[in-house]
Amino acid sequence: MGQLNSGAAVVAFGGGPSRVVNQTFCSLVLHLQKSKAKRIYSPKFGLRGLLDEKNPQVFDLSKQPKDLLNKIAQQPGAISGTARRKLNEEKGEPEKLVELLKKNDVRYLYLIGGDDTASVCLQLQRAAQARNYELATFHLAKTIDNDLEGHHHTPGFPSAALFVAHAVQGIEADNRSTGGIQFVICMGKDAGYLSAAASLAKYKEDDGPHAFFLPEQKYSSLQHFLDSLVSKIEEIYSKLGRALVIVSEGIGITVSSNQSTKRVPLLKYILESKGESVVGDNFGGISLSRGTSLGDFLVNAVKSKIKADVRSTTLGYPQRSFPLIYSELDAQDAWLVGKEAVNYTLDGFEEGSVALLEPGAITKTTLLPLVMVGIRKREMPQEYLSPDGCLLNVPLFKEYAVPLIGKKVLPAPLVELVPAYYSFKT
């Protein structure tokens, strides 16, 4: 293998879209075309389309024009559709899909997504090996959560982080104007990177955000979390007369059972304790950003303890694919991942996750084992955190994040944007 003319290639999306994911997709397709791939296919709605549809729609990308692909690369979202679709091993779905690929002479599989997508790549690789079918299987990183093991950063995160920084700066202007307590709920099921990105809107000590509650913090019970939350907000509110608090959707309660511990997302913990159903996907995740339940819970919990105007905003899905805000480096890195996936194939590699290294003059990549990326998740380093749930070292986080985003496109200090925030002379 490695010549790309020994069989067809399939390119598919998995998980949520992002502002730059089409950069990876189109780069991959263009470089496959250039390398004389026999055929290039992309199923509508990813593997869900192949497995769940009676008559799956498959796009033939072999002769799509270069100028069209370059235009598509600039737009947000996943051009051929995406879905979260775990392969059910008890029902033999990995084997079923491998047989489908074999029937159509597919020898190269490229899935663009996060850790769940990497785990699907691992399932298919193992199923193909068990059937002695040569299938080169590559995972191409994409997740705004920035939580892939071994990856310095992932395409999609810098642009989403930039959106969060701008959105939170607007919310900070509102909170500074009106006072009171304002929660902002950010995406991030397992890592706090995107929530921490709200700190990029912060310039002076009393600028919001004033506190961060992240998945990496451990709370032994709901009461432990609420005590920490209320205590920190009371401290900020008594000092400033207002508080802007960032909460990650993945904030959770650490539950111990059968000599093991796991973090249960707070929203799931609350709903299940009340006997209510939890909407989830087949990877075990729950739909945290589809409504305002978490924000409503936080508002009611704090209102019962602090006499103040308390509000919440859930940033939700605009974080993923907002068209007008993106990082140029993010777009370049996303394109690089597609190109490098083809290069690794041509070099004779047969599996792996294409990972970005720390950016320099030119960002470089490495190829990580699927078993590493598809099973473990990466959290933020503990040195970014403090025991009370606040981001401890904003300058340290900025050292990591600003090079990925670009200093010129970060929100300006509020006093540069809104002169009304100059203080009156007394």
Q: What would the pLDDT profile of 161-214 be if each residue is shown by its tens digit? A: 999 999 999 999 999 999 999 999 999 888 999 999 999 988 888 899 999 999
pLDDT value at position 278?
Answer: 62
Q: How confident is the model at residue 287 (pLDDT cuts 50, 70, 90)?
A: low
pLDDT value at position 419?
Answer: 47
Determine the Cα–Cα distance for residues 420 and 424; give it in Å rounded to an integer: 9
At CA 208, angle to CA 206 and CA 210, rounded to 5?
Answer: 80
Residue among 249, 166, 180 nearest 210 (CA):
180
The average pLDDT across 382-389 equals 79
Residue identified by tokens 């990877």 is 283
267 touches 188 (CB < 8 A): no
pLDDT value at position 417?
Answer: 61
How high is the mean pLDDT of the chain?
A: 87
Q: What would the pLDDT profile of 269-283 be if each residue is shown by its tens digit? A: 777 777 766 665 554
Q: According to the CATH classification, is domain 160-319+380-413 in 3.40.50.460? A: yes
Tell me which CATH code domain 8-155+324-373 carries. Answer: 3.40.50.450
Neighbours of 153 (CB within 10 A): 25
Q: How confident is the model at residue 420 (pLDDT cuts 50, 70, 90)?
A: very low
Fold equal for 8-155+324-373 and 160-319+380-413: yes
145 classed as catalytic: yes
CA 69 remoteness from chain centre? 24
Select which of 115, 116, 145, 190 is catalytic. 145
Backbone angles phi, psi at 188, to 5 degrees: 135, 90
The average pLDDT across 88-114 equals 92
Q: What would the pLDDT profile of 387-419 be if each residue is shown by its tens digit? A: 666 777 888 899 999 999 988 888 877 666 654
The average pLDDT across 264-272 equals 80
Percent of the chain with pLDDT over 90: 57
Q: What would the pLDDT profile of 6-64 be if each residue is shown by its tens digit? A: 789 999 999 889 999 999 999 999 999 999 888 999 999 998 888 877 788 899 999 89
Q: What would the pLDDT profile of 213-234 be if each residue is shown by its tens digit? A: 998 888 888 899 999 999 999 9
Residue identified by tokens 């608090």 is 245
The average pLDDT across 325-353 equals 94
pLDDT of 371 > 70? The answer is yes
At CA 215, angle to CA 262 and CA 247, rounded to 5?
Answer: 140
Whole-prediction pTM? 0.90
Q: What would the pLDDT profile of 70-83 be if each residue is shown by its tens digit? A: 999 999 999 998 98
Which sequence spans correspond to the domains of the chain?
Answer: 8-155+324-373, 160-319+380-413
